[in-house]
Structure formats: C-alpha cells, structure tokens
Chains A and B, each alone.
Chain A
Amino acid sequence: MTIWRGHKAAVAALMLTASFTTPAMAGQTKGFVVSWFNQAEYADPQGRDCPHGVNDGPEIYYRKELSAIGMSHADVEKYINDFLDMSKFKQTIPIAQMRGRINGKPADAYAIPTSVPDPHLKLVEGPMGYGFNLDGKVGKNDFTDPETGEKGVKNQLYRVIGCINELKTHTLTDRPPLQLNYWNVLYEQMPAWLVEIDGVDDPKNNKDVTITITRAFEAPSKDSGGNVATNLTFSSDPNPRWHNVVHGTMKDGMITTDTFDMNMLGDPFWIQEFHFKQAKMRLQIDEAGNLRGFVGGYHAWFPFYWQYGSEGWGVDATNNIDLPGFYYALKNAADADPDPKTGENRMISSTWLMEAVPAFVTHPDDRRAELTPTNEGAARGK
C-alpha cells in the first residue's frame, strides 16, 4: 500500500516536475529496451577495408577444397553443376559436409573444421574500425574509430567478418544481412535487454552517470510499423548473472564508461550467452529519446564460430561462408586470454553496435517502480 501511494505521489511529482523542465532530462532514470545488438562494422567508403575484394563463394572454395582432397576434375565439375541445379543440390550436401579428412578418412567439416586445410580467408585490411582501445596500447594491428578518432582500437572480430559478403555491412548505415535475418527471426522470442541510465541531470554534461544493463522477463515486441514498440513496460530480472552496472561520464552528450565485465543472456540460435571481459561502452541519446552506442570487449571466439558452424551446410552453401576457413580465421585473429597449455588465444576483441528505444523499466523484486520520463510528460512541458 505504501509503495502504491508513493508511486502515485511519484507519478504526480513526475507529471508536475516534467511540466516545468526541458524535455526528458530532469534527474530521472531513463529506461530503454534494446532494439539492435550486433557486430559493429565499418564499410569504408574508400574501399580500403577489403582491397582484395570479398571472400569467394562456394563455387570457388568447394572446387578448391574438393580438388585438394583428391576428387577428380570431372567429379568436381559434376559436383558444382549439381550444386547449382535447383533439383539436384540436395545430393551434394553430404559431399560438402564430409570434405574434411582425418588420416585419409572423411570427417565432418563443420564439427571438426581443422579436418579441412586452412583456406586462408581474406581479412579486413583497412585502417578504420569501431571500438575502443581495450588494452591501452596502440599496435600495428589496431584500428582507428571512425566516429571518435580513438587510436589503438581492438576489433579483431571485425577483421574476420568484415570481408565475408553476407556478414559485412556494405554502406555506412546498413545492417549486415545474415545477422539481420537472425535478429528478425529471433528478436521477439529472445529475452528483452534493458538499459537504465541514472544521473543525467544535464542534457550535455554529467560527471557521474550509472548505466545498468539487465534482461527482462518479457520478450520485446514490434509495432504495426515493423519497428520496436516504444514506451512499453518491462520488468527487470534481478538475477545477478545478467545484472551489469557500470559507472560513466557524460561529456558533450557522449557517455563513456569505466571498464567492466558484461554478461547477458542471448539465444541458442545466436550466441547463447555473452561474457565480455574488460569491456567499455559509449552511448548517446538523440532528440527523439533513442539510445545509440557501442560496447567493446574481449569475448570467447568459439561461440562466434559455433553460431554458424552448428548450422553447417545451410550457412556454408547458402550464405557463402567457408566455415572451416571462418574457424581458422577466428582462431588466428584471437588476441587475448592465452590457453595455459597451448598458448593459443581463447578470446577475441570485438565491438558491438547497440541501439535502444524508450521503455518503462520496473523492478518487481525489490518492489520499486522505476519511473522514466516519457514523451507525454515532456510534451506537456511545452
């Protein structure tokens, strides 16, 4: 009862105060629901990212890899013809799948990608890439961030995917095709990700802000226009596993955070769980109240392979990604967390573009209704 009265009073206070302040800014917690979270890639307008073009399609790499395991030229040609034939391609699947060789015996190329010799995928060679200088050093392999100009940016994941046609962006604003398809299919089933930003008293500069990222009990939803619905109420899961809090600073409208670890629940068909180490984040809130920013950090690289490797031939052939090559490229590009026995790096630096739209975030378990400024409240101030 007390809580409800308090809530009412708070709502009343909100309505009254909101009517006297500039839009959406007066020391209240802002709530958002994430509408996009995928790798941040830079399609260089000058074409420096993939100077040798994008990676080959299956017509080429199958030809190479099948020849390499001793298939005759005639058989390879027949294979390629069947592969391109709508009525016959199905019979080519087992051949592609079992093109690995271990001690001369066929092996599943997707389950054991090392059974196929490294085809050496083309990697990103350009100088620009989104992200953060995660380790404080500026090395030869590093990028410069196109928006902040930060040097020493670590984004090895981008290096691997940025020249694979279905995984790369092609303009400065488009979405990478395969990631977009997965996202669209899974979005309304995955748990919603919630972002709360506390301490934004001034629209441009705030010394101390706190960003909390949690998952919701509800799944997000899209509206009739096909976009993520705004102003819905979500309840934040208090489960500490997916509870991330980080301190930041806002300067000239840009929030940058301290280093933190970020753990979030994904989806088995995407990345089942995200565990970023030594991560950093930067965020901006636009005039409409939407959030946009980047999260960069080190992450285990194997799940990035397995997202597609577990699909196997479907991704390999129809999305033109030489999966064994993808495996090798990730492995070789990994740049952190060496295995104590083998010395091989188990984690890879990565940067992710995050966008979010306004939402109400409530905290059911600690019985506290978070209130966030709304467009309606802001509008009344006018």
Chain B
Amino acid sequence: MASKGKLLFGGVALLIVAGAAVIAFPELTGQKAKKPADISSIAGGPTVLRRLTQTQYQHVIADVFGNDITIGGRFEPDIRDSGLIEVGAGKVSVPASGLEQYGKMARSISVQVFDKAHRDSMVGCKPASPNAPDDNCAGQFVSQVGRLLYRRPLTQEETANLVKGAADATKTVGNFYGGLQITLTTMLQAPQFLFNWETSVADRSHPGQFTLNAYSKASRLSFFLWNSAPDDMLLTAAEKGELDTKAGFTRQVDRMLVSPRLEAGARAYFADMFNFDGFNNLSKDPTIYPKYSFGLATDAQEQTLRTVSNHLLVKDGDYRDLFTTRDTFMSRQLGAVYSIPVPKDAPGAMPDGWQPYSFPAGDPRSGILMQVSFLALHSHPGRTSPTLRGKALRETILCQKVPDPPGNVNFNVVQDTKNPAYKTVRQRLEAHRTQPTCTGCHKMMDPIGLSLENFDSIGTYRAGENGSAIDASGEIDGVKFDSAEGLGKAIHDHPATTACLVNRLYAYAVGRQPTKSETEWLRADLGKGFAADGYKFKPLMRRIAISDVFFRVIAPDPETRPTRQASLQGAAQ
C-alpha cells in the first residue's frame, strides 16, 4: 500500500499535472490569433506510410470490382492515435495473423472476380488458349487493375514480375483464369495495395522544398475527400501533370467536392472523429437495456452521420449548430428508444425506413450530444458514466487530452464506508469533486457528463434515478448551465470546438499530427478562414485541399543508426 508520504507527493503532482493540462493546449482554448505566418515558410511534415483502414479497403474494392463483391475475412483492428484512426493508420504494420486474414479476403475477392458472372467484364481480353499462359492478356489485366489497386501505374519491373507469376501459376493450376486469379490474390496482399504510399519529389515552384508526386497527391486528395482510391479521372489528371499546377488540382478538388461521393468522405471523417468504431465492442446488459442491440447501434450511428451529413453537406450549415440543432432523422428502431412514433408514411419517409424528424421546441433533446450514438457509446454496460461522457466530449469534440490517473491513488479516502448507497450518480461522484487528488482531472469531465444524466446508458430519457429527480446542471470552462441544452449551447460557443475540427480534419487529411508551424497556420489562417466562411464544412475541406501547405512534405529523414526496434527485428528474422 502507498505510504502517506508517497500519496501526498502523488496528490500534489497530480494537481500540477492537472493544472498544466489546461494550459498545455493554448491554441485550443481560444487565445487570440497571432499574425498569420508567411505560408511559404511553413515547412511541411514527413510523408507517412498509412495502412488502409477497413472502410478504405472496402471502398477501393467496391470501386474497382463493383458493389456486389463481398469480402470474406476478418479485418485487422485499426488503431487510434491522437484521436484518429487515420493517424493510427500511420503507426501500424501488418502482423502475420493480419496478413493471413488479408490473404483470406484476397482469395474471396479473387474467386468472385473470376467467376463466370464477372470474369468477362473484369478481364478486358481473352487468352489465346484457356489452359496456357498468355503474357499479353495477363499483362493487360495486371496493368489495368494494378493501376487502380496500387493507385499508380505499375513499374515495368512490377508488371513483369506479376506476368511471370501469372504464367507460373497458370502452369501449376492448369488454366489461365486460375493463374490470373492467384495473381490478383497476391496483388491484394502486396504492400503497394495495403498501404497508402507517399512519394516526395523536389518542388519546382519552391526550390529547396519538397512536395508529393502527382500520384501521391491524387491519393491524398481522394482518401481525404472520398475515403477511397483515386478514380480514373483523377489518376489521369495525375498522369497528365495537371495536379502539379494549382489550377489543375483546384479543378479536381472542386470536381470532387460536388460529387455525391463527398458524402462517403465526410461520413468517414466524422465516424473516425466520433470514435464510432467503439460500437464494435460495445455491450450492454440485455436485462437492463433490452432495447439495445447491434442493430440499434447501427441505426444510432446512421442517425448521427445522417444528421451531420445533411446539416453540413446539404444545408451547408454552421458546424457549431450540430450541438444545438433539433433536426435529425429517425428509424423505427430508434423511435422505440426515443419514444416517438415513426409512421411509415410520414412526409419525407424513405423506402429504407428513415425519415426526417425534428424535436419540437422545448424538448429536452437537442444537438448530436443528445443522440443515442454519443450517449450509448460512452456509457458502461449497465449504467451511465458522467466521467466517460465528459472525457469523450473533451477528447473527441474539443481535442483536449485528459491525463491518466497517476499510480497509487488512494481510493480509501474516497469511500464513505458508513453510507455507501447513493441514490444518484451525482451523489456517488461526490468524492470526485471534493477530494483534492481527484478534482484536478475530474472537474474537467464530470460536470459535463452530469448534465447529460437525464439520458441513460442507451440514451433513453429519464426524469429521475431511483426515485430522485435528476439535476442536470453543469459547467464547462467557466460557463455554467442548468440543462443539457445549455451544454449544447456552451459547446456551440466554445472556441475549442471549431479549432478542434480544423486541427483534426487536417490531421485526418495528412495522416499525422500537424507540425508546430502547421499548427500555427491552422489556427491563424485556416481558423480565421473557417470563421469567415460561417463555419461551413465544405469550404473548410476546400481550404485545406487547395492550400499550398497541403502537399508540402519534408525530405525523408536519412537512414539513422539502427534502433533497438530494428535490431530486434533483425533478431526475429
């Protein structure tokens, strides 16, 4: 057990840490913007090799082979880093078990591509003989498909290798399409497909600086705006050198921004930002919350993403209004949780069962924070957690990191052993607010979550808990409110809300944390622009995509002394 001396030190250290935590992100607590830096002096960041995320993989396959191709196999879990899976994608590799699964998926896709129904449309040529190699036809297929799968034309060496492989495989299995099928299986496991490559070249318009090559630009743009591989038009633009001129890539950006495929990109961004992958492993106790099921979770995510997409893309709305809007969409299953009727024939009802719904004025619910997705995702299986909800709001909406608790926190002090039964969560968390070792961090989280206590662990409204009325008052960074609606308004007005979106969207687009100089530029330049645009989302995407900074990269760091990591790699081989 920790000695008292240790405890005091730990307690003091915590307060210092906690204090520091609030100061540590000045750019996110709304300090006045400094003068915008000269954009050409902003160094870019390093290129990042990013593993395709699960949705990106699925989109690429659908784009190249069609929506009817099913993918059989289990995806390697994506890892979140700095609040985004897209940043984590630049930190992971492929374990053997993961490659095994990619192999299974590759096999399942190839089998379908080469079945009788698909074969002829997928392979644009016929072999001279069905049972013998045909390098011409194989080469044609490999080049065409490879360009789309690898997001760039194959090198001569790559093509030659694959054509030889196809010929060998054809001889082994005895037929041309079988050999080509195995070649496709291999291409779908190759690092050129599984990873998003960024190649830097000298920037002719800025001597001494580097920029992404044309194909890397195409990939960065299309994964950012559409969450998928570049389409043929974009690849062709890259090939023709159009992406190397500002006018050229602006034209492509504008094309992509008006495409219906923008919705997929926006959804992918917000699903990442809101940590919706957490639903995959969320469980609720079926006895306490019988209305919860994976189907409800799917509808809940869809509700929020539809709300966001409709508000930001269709209505071109102010981003901040997402936290106060009463307009959303309902499905029949959600209606049962929100306790509202969802008539089949309501105006605007769609064949897929979704229909627009607006909470009436005065309804306790408003904003996406009071939708089932946020409320259910950040709760325990059997009860709510104001701490989890507060932490989630800080980290996902305001981009603020809450420090981990230190070791050896003495919870003995916390427990009132005489009266352990508290009626409401607010009462149970009393200690979080009064014990010095706890308040430092918990005051950042609990008052936010406590104002959401009218919504249980799956988001159903409740007026009271265990017979006591729920007090929904709370506070965030000095702004007090007496209801969850007030929380929504406070988030609307909080400077960190919009700053967070700018930073996080940029990090998502480049696949890494912004560098120091980029961060300055994001606050001063993009942040101001975002405000000037009325906090609209599409203009923000455009500003990022056409900025001079977006494609700027620094030269890859030279080969350093092998790290312990690398030497262990060597040992393992």
In the complex, what's the smallest C-beta–C-beta distance from B198 to chain A, in angstroms? 45
Closest-by-CB residue of A relative to B333 is A232
Q: Which 3 pairs show the lowest CB-CB distances between chains A and B?
A: A225-B290, A376-B339, A360-B341
Contact with A along B309-337 (1 / 0, CB 8 A): 00000000000000000000000110111
User: In chain A between 231 and 246, which residues have their CB closer than 8 angstroms to a CB of chain B?
Assistant: 231-233, 235
Q: Is the CB of B346 within 8 A of A225?
A: no
One of B1-9, B223-231, B264-272, B354-362 at the interface? B354-362
**When the two chains form their complex, are residues B293 and A12 in contact, meaning their CB atoms are under 8 A apart?**
no
Q: Which of B284, B358, B460 contacts A8 (CB 8 A)?
A: B358
Q: Are A364 and B345 within 8 A (Cβ)?
A: yes
20 contacts between A and B (CB under 8 A): A3-B347, A7-B346, A8-B360, A15-B360, A15-B362, A217-B344, A223-B291, A224-B291, A231-B335, A232-B333, A232-B336, A233-B336, A233-B341, A360-B340, A360-B341, A362-B344, A369-B343, A370-B341, A374-B339, A376-B461
Known: A376-B461, A380-B364, A382-B469. A224 touches B292 (CB 8 A): yes
A370 to B345, CA, bound (A): 12
How far does the alpha carbon of A1 sit from the alpha carbon of B289 in the complex, in Å?
36
Interface residues of A in 316-348 (CB under 8 A from B): none
Q: Mark B272-300, 1 if CB is under 8 A from A, else 0.
A: 00000000000010110111110000000
- In the bound complex, what is the Cα–Cα distance between A187 and B375 (angstroms)? 32
From B284, B286, B346, B461, give the contact of A369 (CB < 8 A). Answer: B346
* A43 CB to nearest chain B CB (Å): 28
The answer to the question of B98 belonging to the interface, with a C-beta cut-off of 8 Å to chain A, is no
CB distance from B458 to the nearest CB of A (A): 10
Look across to chain A and name the residue whose beta carbon is closest to the beta carbon of B288.
Answer: A225
In the complex, whether A227 has a CB less than 8 A from a CB of chain B is yes
By the criterion CB–CB under 8 Å, are B361 and A12 in contact?
Answer: yes
Are the CB atoms of B343 and A382 closer together than 8 Å? Answer: no
Question: Contacts A224-B284, A231-B337 given; 15 further ones with Cβ under 8 A?
Answer: A12-B360, A223-B293, A224-B292, A229-B290, A231-B336, A232-B333, A233-B341, A235-B344, A235-B345, A364-B343, A367-B345, A369-B346, A374-B339, A374-B340, A380-B463
**Chain B residues whose CB sits within 8 angstroms of the CB of A223 once the complex forms:** 286, 290-291, 293
Whether A152 sits at the interface, judged by CB under 8 Å, is no
CA A367 to CA B347, docked complex, whole Å: 11
- What is the bound-complex CA distance between A230 and B337, given in angstroms? 9
Distance between Cα atoms of A380 and B339 in the complex (Å): 12
- The reply to whether B360 and A362 contact each other, CB–CB distance below 8 Å, is no
Whether B338 sits at the interface, judged by CB under 8 Å, is: yes
Query: With contacts A4-B346, A360-B341, A362-B341 known, is A224 near B335, CB below 8 A?
Result: no
Q: Which chain B residues (188-240) contact chain A, with CB distance < 8 Å?
A: none
Q: For residue B62, give the distance in angstroms from its CB to the closest CB of chain A.
A: 31
Q: Determine how close the nearest CB of chain B comes to the CB of A289; give it in whole angstroms.
A: 11
Closest to A373 in B: B339
Q: Which residues of A contact B347 (CB under 8 A)?
A: 1, 3-4
Residue of A nearest to B331 (CB): A233
Residues of chain B contacted by A95 (CB below 8 angstroms): none
Q: Please report the C-alpha to C-alpha distance between residue A379 and residue B464 in the assembled complex, in whole angstroms.
A: 8
B290 touches A235 (CB 8 A): no
Which residues of A lie under 8 Å from residue B336 when comparing CB positions? 229-233
B215 vs chain A, min Cβ distance (A): 48
Is B68 in the interface zone, CB < 8 Å from A? Answer: no
Pick the most buried of B340, B343, B358: most chain A CB atoms within 10 A of its CB.
B343
Q: Is the CB of A11 within 8 A of B360?
A: yes
Q: Which residue of B lies closest to A224 (CB)?
A: B286
CA distance A224 to B335 in the complex (A): 16
Q: Say yes or no: is B363 at the interface (Cβ < 8 Å to chain A).
A: yes
Is A71 interfacial (CB-CB < 8 Å)?
no
- Contact partners of A232 in chain B: CB under 8 A: 332-333, 335-336
B interface residue numbers (CB < 8 A to A): 284, 286-287, 289-293, 332-333, 335-347, 358, 360-364, 460-464, 469
Q: Within 8 Å CB of A69, what residues of B?
A: none
The answer, among A1, A229, A379, for a CB contact under 8 Å with B462, is A379
Nearest CB in chain A: distance from B289 CB, A = 7
Contact, CB under 8 Å: B339 / A231: yes
Contact A224 B340 (CB under 8 A): no
Q: How many Å lie between the Cα of A300 and that of B358 in the bound state?
A: 50
Give every chain A residue within 8 A of B344 (Cβ-Cβ).
217, 233, 235, 362, 364
- Report the bound CA distance from A360 to B342 in whole Å: 8
Assess the A233–B335 pair: CB atoms within 8 A: yes
A219 within 8 A of partner (CB): no
Q: Is A16 part of the contact surface with B, judged by Cβ < 8 Å?
A: yes
Minimum C-beta distance from A381 to chain B (A) = 8
B72, chain A: closest CB distance, angstroms: 27
Decide yes or no whether A375 CB sits under 8 A from chain B. yes
Complex CA distance for A232 and B346, rounded to whole angstroms: 15
The interface residues of chain A lying within 8 Å CB-to-CB of B364 are 380
Chain A 162-217 residues near chain B, CB threshold 8 A: 217
- Residue A377 interfacial (CB < 8 Å): yes
In the assembly, what is the distance between CA of A226 and CA of B293, in Å?
A: 12
Shortest Cβ distance from residue B331 to the other chain A in the assembled complex, whole angstroms: 10
Bound-state CA distance A49–B362 (Å) is 58
Binary CB contact string for chain A from 351 to 376 against chain B (1 if under 8 A, 0 otherwise): 00000000010101001011110111
A235–B292 CB distance below 8 A: no
Bound form: Cα–Cα A235–B362 in Å = 28
Residues of A within 8 Å of B341, CB to CB, are 233, 360, 362, 369-372
Q: Are A382 and B464 in contact (CB under 8 A)?
A: yes
Residue of A nearest to B460 (CB): A376
Residue of A nearest to B332 (CB): A233
Within 8 Å by CB of B461, from A230, A235, A380, lies A380
Which residues of the other chain, B, contact A380 by a CB distance below 8 angstroms?
A: 364, 461, 463
Contacts of A379 in B (CB 8 A): 461-464
What's the Cα separation between A4 and B339 when bound, in Å?
18
A7 to B347, CA, bound (A): 10
CA distance A358 to B247 in the complex (A): 61
Neighbouring B residues of A226 by C-beta, 8 Å: 286, 290
CA distance A12 to B326 in the complex (A): 13
- Complex CA gap A224/B460 in Å reads 15
List B contacts of A231 (CB < 8 A). Answer: 335-337, 339
Complex: A377 Cα to B463 Cα, angstroms: 10
CA distance A223 to B285 in the complex (A): 12
User: Could you tell me the distance in whole angstroms from the C-beta of A345 to the nearest C-beta in chain B?
Assistant: 43
Beta-carbon contact of A227 and B290 below 8 Å: yes
Question: Can you name the residue of chain A whose Cβ is closest to the Cβ of B291?
Answer: A223
Interchain CA distance A108-B291 in the complex, whole Å: 48
Find chain A residues with CB under 8 A from B345 CB. 235, 362, 364, 367
Tell me whether A224 and B342 are in contact in the complex, defined as CB-CB below 8 angstroms, given that A1-B347, A232-B335, A379-B461 are known contacts. no
- Report which of B289, B338, B339, B361 forms a contact with A224, defined as CB distance below 8 A: B289
Q: Please, which residues of chain B bring their CB within 8 A of the CB of A381? A: 463
Which A residues lie within 8 Å of B339 (CB)? 231, 374-377
B342–A225 touching, CB < 8 Å: no
Residues of chain B lying within 8 A (CB to CB) of residue A376: 338-340, 460-461
Contacts of B462 in A (CB 8 A): 379
Q: Which residue of B lies closest to A31 (CB)?
A: B341
> Across the two chains, which residue of chain A brings its CB closest to B363?
A15
Q: Contact at B287–A225, with CB atoms within 8 Å?
A: yes
In the complex, chain B residues whose CB is within 8 Å of the CB of A382: 463-464, 469
B362 touches A16 (CB 8 A): yes
Q: B463: which A residues are within 8 A, CB to CB?
A: 379-382
A368, chain B: closest CB distance, angstroms: 9
Could you tell me the distance between the alpha carbons of A362 and B332 in the complex, rounded to whole angstroms?
12
Cα A1 to Cα B464 in complex, Å, equals 37
- Which interface residue of A229, A233, A235 has the most chain B CB atoms within 10 A? A233
Q: Contacts of A369 on B, CB cut-off 8 Å?
A: 341, 343, 346
Tell me the bound Cα distance from A379 to B363 in angstroms: 13
CA–CA, A375 and B336, complex, Å: 11
